[in-house]
Structure 1
Amino acid sequence: MKLKQGLIQVYTGNGKGKTTAAIGLGIRALGRGLKVYMVQFLKTSDTGELHVIKNLDGFDIFRFERPRGFFWTLSDSDKIELQKDIDKAMEFVKETIKNNSCDLLILDEVMGAIGNGLIDKNELISLLKSKHESMEIVLTGRNVPQEIAEIANYISEINPVKHSFDEGIPARKGIEF
């Protein structure tokens, strides 16, 4: 099955669940016979979804970065190495879009990479505009640039009303990661 009309979706906001929502959409698409790629930016830790998705034929997660700390904790040399990894990821994204290699392309935490100056927003916009009409693209992350918001067909905002972290409960394996 191919989509007749692929759109651009954004999952944003300060709340928990943007990646989870994107994965849920990926599972739905896979269930309808669509091929799903997820490229994760600024994420290198082990998460529960990786263990399940690796066993799903037709839903592939790609990570190009080596494990590091949070961006704001990195040294200048670490940031240079991270930039090289992000550049490799973006080359993969360009080839995926150019070759129409999947039906649903999820660019997880791409807004964080833009916000940290690792991806040029205008380059991403050009890529989004060049996608095949049948490819759906989902972008996740906080602080969506206005120019991306303008070309998106969907924007879903996930905001916290209450969060267990505020009660001193740390992230829990299997729930938050």
Structure 2
Amino acid sequence: MEKREGLIIVHTGNGKGKTTASLGLGLRAWGQGFKVLILQFIKGNWKYGELKAAEALGPNFVMRQMGEGFVRNANEDAMAEHCHAAEEALTMARKEILAKQWDMIILDEINYAIKFGVISLAAVLELLDAKPTELHLVLTGRDVRPEIIDKADLVTEMKEIKHPYKKGIKAQKGIEF
């Protein structure tokens, strides 16, 4: 069997589809017999459609919502809760990366968590350095830092061309959640 070269993959940009693309990669990997873990750093409390799908795929495709929801415009108390949740997600990510039980780990919205200061760039760079050789590690979220781009093997930027929200169309079930 060919030796796997674990990649660091980044999906970033202001366009829609970063999480969706990472889930597509996860689904492809699962279809090849890989064990996939998704840790969501920001998303929490909402009932996203992908949670039901992940549950149906069984123990080799696991999704854990670790966040407290949207960070933007959070007051001081809420920000403390976001920081605590993000630290717990980071601790879990470190534990799962070092456990070497997964073939792919997706750190959803981790770039956003860095941007809003709920986790440190230094801590994430340490995670990337600790990545086992065979592990595929996927990071999503807007405004990826140049230091992460430097460590990545593949970076894709989603660019918004047009979005229904600008016409007043609210988030659609099955599309945004």
Q: TM-score range by the shorter chain?
A: over 0.9
Pairwise CA distance, 1:22: 0.3
Q: Give 1:152-167 correspondences, 5 Å limit.
A: 152-167=152-167
CA contact (8 A) 2:9 2:137 kept: yes
Which residue identity does 2:92 align to in structure 1? F
Pairwise CA distance, 1:65: 3.2
Structure 1 unaligned residues grouped into runs of 5+: none
Pairwise CA distance, 1:101: 2.2
Which residue identity does 1:145 align to in structure 2? R
Aligned mates of 2:25, 2:66 — CA distance in 1: 22
CA contact (8 A) 2:10 2:138 kept: yes
Task: Report what 1:91 is aligned to.
Answer: 91
Task: Report what 1:151 is aligned to.
Answer: 151
Which residue identity does 1:75 align to in structure 2? N
Pairwise CA distance, 1:2: 8.9
| Cα gap change, 1:81 to 1:173, in 2 (>3 Å) | same
CA deviations 1:56-91 (Å, max 9, x no partner) are 12110112234x5x3233221121122111111111
Aligned mates of 1:134, 1:3 — CA distance in 2: 8
CA contact (8 A) 2:42 2:66 kept: no
CA deviations 1:12-57 (Å, max 9, x no partner) are 1111110000000000000000000000011011111111111112
Aligned mates of 1:99, 1:19 — CA distance in 2: 24
Which residue identity does 1:15 align to in structure 2? G
CA contact (8 A) 2:71 2:82 kept: no
Runs of 4+ more than 3 Å apart: none
Q: Give 1:41-120 correspondences, 5 Å limit.
A: 41-44=41-44, 45-57=46-58, 58-66=60-68, 68=69, 70-120=70-120
| TM-score when normalising by structure 2 | 0.93
Structure 2 unaligned residues grouped into runs of 5+: none
CA contact (8 A) 1:3 1:135 kept: no
| Cα gap change, 1:26 to 1:3, in 2 (>3 Å) | farther
SS at match of 1:139: strand
